[in-house]
Amino acid sequence: MKLLPLLFIPLLFASASARPLLRTSQAYRERGIQEQSAKHYQLAVEDFSAAIKLNPKEGQNYRGRAISYQSLSTESYPFPGSPNEAQRKKKSRKYLDLSLADANQGCLLAPKAWSSPFLCGMSYTDIAVADNSAKMGNLAVANFTRAIQLAPNEPLPYAQRAGTYRWMNQIKLAEADEKKAISLQKAPK
């Protein structure tokens, strides 16, 4: 009989570490943003996934999860010659593909938000570099261009498109975008 209480000790610890359930999509999204800030990207993915389950038509939830997947991809990507390099590349690519799918869904749900095509562009750039694929580089440029069309006074899409152009060895285009990004950063808001 004295052993019976010992059986419940693991249950007490398991329930103490469980995260509380939330009631709204917005509450999950807000907690997901907090988890991103704390660099707890897997927890952020879980929160954004819960938000999507509660409200599958909210583009912000997909964009939040796309950012978290993007960050998991970056964390997973191996240094050349590192242990388990092939396995880590495969895991990183899986996260990039998930990020791209969510960013594209965000584009469909919120077509006027520049952040959705921007995130698509980021994912395509990462895939282009990882796979050394000019086709993916072109898709990245197209998405950054769409982000620029939606928010022509936002410097970040110009800067990222410039980086992609540099990677594609299109130096004159890269320099033009870099110049534009700098001028927008200096412009009064």
pLDDT reading at 10 higher than 90 = no
Q: Which domains does the chain have, with CATH numbers?
A: 22-186 (1.25.40.10)
**Nearest 10 degrees: Cα torsion 137, 142, 143, 149:** 150
Angle between helices 155-167 and 171-186 (to 10 degrees): 160
Q: What is the pLDDT of residues 41-91, one digit of tens each?
A: 999 999 999 999 999 999 889 989 988 998 898 787 767 777 787 888 888
> Can you tell me the distance from the alpha carbon of 94 to that of 175, in angstroms, rounded to the nearest whole number?
32
Angle between helices 115-131 and 155-167 (to 10 degrees): 20
- Of the candidates 119, 117, 128, 121, the one whose C-alpha atom is nearest the C-alpha of residue 168 is 128
In a 3-state reduction of DSSP, which class is residue 129? helix
* Mean of all residue pLDDT scores within the chain: 83
pTM for this predicted structure: 0.71
pLDDT reading at 1 higher than 70 = no
Q: Are 51 and 29 in contact (CB under 8 A)?
A: yes
* Residue listed under structure tokens 């796979």: 131
Handedness of CA 103, 104, 105, 107 (dihedral sign): positive
